[in-house]
Amino acid sequence: MYELTNMTALITGSGQGVGFGIASVLAHQGARVLINDIDRARASRAAEHLRSEGNQAEPMPFDVTDFSQVQTQIEGIHAKGSRIDILVNNVGNAGNTPMLQKPFREMQPSEWKNFIDVNLYGVIHCTKAVLDGMCERGFGRIITISSEAGRMGLGIGVSLYGAAKAGAAHLMRHVAHEVGPFGVTANVVALGLMNNVPDAFSTQLIPLIPTHRLGDPLDVGYAVAFLASEEAGWVTGHTLVANGGFATF
Ligand SMILES: NC(=O)c1ccc[n+]([C@@H]2O[C@H](COP(=O)([O-])OP(=O)(O)OC[C@H]3O[C@@H](n4cnc5c(N)ncnc54)[C@H](O)[C@@H]3O)[C@@H](O)[C@H]2O)c1
């Protein structure tokens, strides 16, 4: 079950962190994985690491916020006679800049755009670039990584991030309706607190998580592997929450 042999998966921002965990699980399930990252060296190292474990992995550096780069790279794959069966929209946070946490009233207009570019436009660009090919071939899986901040209001200074995540998740619901008849699904995995956030932020929150631990990138990989599989063909427009039970709705 959930075998991904003969499938090609593009995972954005998978040079490290959650994305690398997703790429690792999909590769172990048999997929050929394309490791996207804006950091070329990081993408190459991650792909090399997975290949050294016997997987099929290639670096695919580009910036998801630049539609022309995204289109050129995806068209390049199609031109080589290859295809993308699975797209995981994983790039998020504040892109390749440190995560800014500030109350909305204190944010300057110059600080808004980056969150929307990375967390919403990045998803729009990559989804648009792969969708026609998936529909023409009659199979495709789009999975967008979101956050609890996109499901609920929080007083921790992440309003623009949360707004962009909610927008990307809602795009998946609309796309799910439009492409369902073509055998393509579009889903969301909404994450709770992961084990790569600073200890100062996470330590006090761990006792409030029913499973008493932070999320591991592999936890996300297992959830994505299900949604990416043939077997999940009747699951679409859905948000799968992976948060250790922190908010049970
Ligand atoms: N870490 C958490 O606690 C947490 C919680 C909830 C949701 N999430 C979501 O999970 C996803 C992954 O988070 P993470 O903490 O593993 O991220 P990360 O910041 O550790 O890694 C993201 C990778 O994306 C790359 N990247 C950044 N901007 C890019 C761009 N424009 N184009 C291509 N690549 C780019 C970076 O170089 C980096 O390697 C994000 O969508 C994030 O919003 C994370």
DSSP state, residue 110: G
Average pLDDT value for residue range 43-67: 98
- Position 135 pLDDT exceeds 90: yes
pLDDT tens figures, 82-106: 999 999 999 999 999 999 899 999 9
Mean pLDDT over the full length of the chain: 97
Distance between Cα 90 and ligand 1 center (Å)? 6
Q: Which residues contact 135 (CB under 8 A, 6 or more apart)?
A: 179, 182, 184
Evaluate: CB of 129 within 6 angstroms of ligand 1.
no
- Is ligand 1 within 6 A of the CB of residue 21? no
Is 121 in the active site? no
What is the structure's pLDDT at 100? 87
CB of 89 sitting under 6 A from ligand 1: no
Number of C-beta neighbours around residue 237 at 10 A: 16
Catalytic residue among 2, 121, 161, 222: 161
In percent, the amount of the chain with pLDDT more than 90 equals 95
Return the number of other C-beta atoms located less than 10 Å from residue 97's C-beta. 9
d(CA 205, CA 200): 10
Q: Three-state SS for 26?
A: helix
Ligand 1 pocket check for 90: Cβ under 6 Å: yes
User: How do residues 184-228 score in pLDDT, each as one tens digit?
Assistant: 999 999 999 999 988 888 898 899 999 999 999 999 999 999 999
Q: Is the CB of 140 under 6 A from ligand 1?
A: no
Q: How far is the CA of 197 from the centre of ligand 1 (A)?
A: 11
Question: How many A from CA of 20 to the centre of ligand 1?
Answer: 10
Ligand 1 atom having least distance to the Cα of 90? 41
Q: Residue 15 above 90 pLDDT?
A: yes
User: Cα–Cα distance between 228 and 148 in angstroms, integer?
Assistant: 21
